Amino acid sequence: MAPKRAHGPELDDVRIRLISLAAAYGDGTLGQPSRFFPAPDEPVVRVTPVGDGPLGTQVVDLAYPSDYTPFLAAARELHQRATVNLTAHARWWTSGRGRPTLVLLHGWGGGNHWVTERTFAVSYWLRHGYDVAAFVLPFHGERAPGTGALRSGALFPSPNPLRTNEAFGQAIHDLRALARFLRGRGASAIGALGMSLGGYTTALWASVAGPDDIGGLDFAVAMIPAVSFGRLMWRHGEHSPERVRAARAGITEELLVEAFAVHTPTTRPARVPRDRLFVIAGRGDRITPPEHAEALAAHWGVPVRWFDGGHLAQIGRGDAIRDVRRELGQAGWPGRAPRMARRP
């Protein structure tokens, strides 16, 4: 009599497919970011004036085609199906004076410009000599398929590595295109400030393209960042039915980490100089726990700027942000003279 199987062929198939995807995404991509993150072409941007902004700025909405092609052919039909996600969006507070531009990257479920403006204290950065652009991540805000208040972020990130991996590829592609546009409009530098999912994306962008790339970053600030989506999903799914099914299928935390490794910021060195990299985190954070910030800071070789609050109640974060802004000032921003951007 044949021994009884611990799980059926369908669960075996899930594990085999995940192993295959991890191998396909890891094939030659981890040490060479250009293979998974190719440089975008110059975007054709639709510029729509919105009105007057704080401190003499103009508020402008930007929209441009996202011509990202998924790395794996198996993902391309799924990618094209979400047509609303094929247009990138950003809101730009511009002085028209060629100042450095800070790109804001929201957290999961975000993408509403009104909320982003207040969450990131846009007026604070304008007052200190920066222009600001609030970018909408894939499958968020205006890029989210479907209707309803909870649609933003419903599809990304998710345990589906095909959609999640390609969405991070798309995010970096579209951000580099935005940076090209902003430099072409006179921005003297491009920096990024991201929270949570946006903090992860900021760290990823810094690992792909630095100041020698027209679509790269001159400085990066990752706030309350995740650093491994595999570990984060495994932790938060500890008591869920999905985690139970995954364990029954033989899926482990390490396999999940491997499946998402292609976009994990710590799989490659930062392209931004160390003195322009900053990590801000909350000691009481239970959503992206402090060890994620510590791992990113250790990888970058920088300290964590701690505040006492958590992920949502960010008590004390103002002091950390002021410290970062002062250090940027010591490095020459926003008074640094404009430079000619070099093409990749």
Output the CATH code of domain 9-330. Answer: 3.40.50.1820
246-284 confidence digits (pLDDT tens): 777 777 888 888 999 999 999 999 999 999 999 999 988
Could you give the CA distance from residue 224 to residue 201 in angstroms, rounded to a whole number?
12
Domain-by-domain residue ranges, the chain? 9-330
**20-29, 72-81, 252-261: which is most confident:** 72-81
142-153 confidence digits (pLDDT tens): 999 975 555 898
Q: Provide the token pair at 273.
A: 């100089």
pLDDT at 344: 29
Question: What are the residue ranges of helices labelled H in the chain?
Answer: 9-26, 33-36, 76-81, 113-119, 122-127, 161-184, 197-208, 229-236, 241-248, 253-259, 290-300, 317-330
Number of C-beta neighbours around residue 253 at 10 A: 16
Could you give the CA distance from residue 272 to residue 219 in angstroms, rounded to a whole number?
6
Give the three-class secondary structure for 111: coil
Confidence of residue 130 (pLDDT cuts 50, 70, 90): very high
Question: How would you class 23 by CB atoms within 10 Å of its CB: exposed for 0-12, middle for 13-18, buried for 19 or more?
Answer: exposed
Q: Are the C-beta atoms of residues 224 and 293 closer than 8 Å to each other?
A: yes
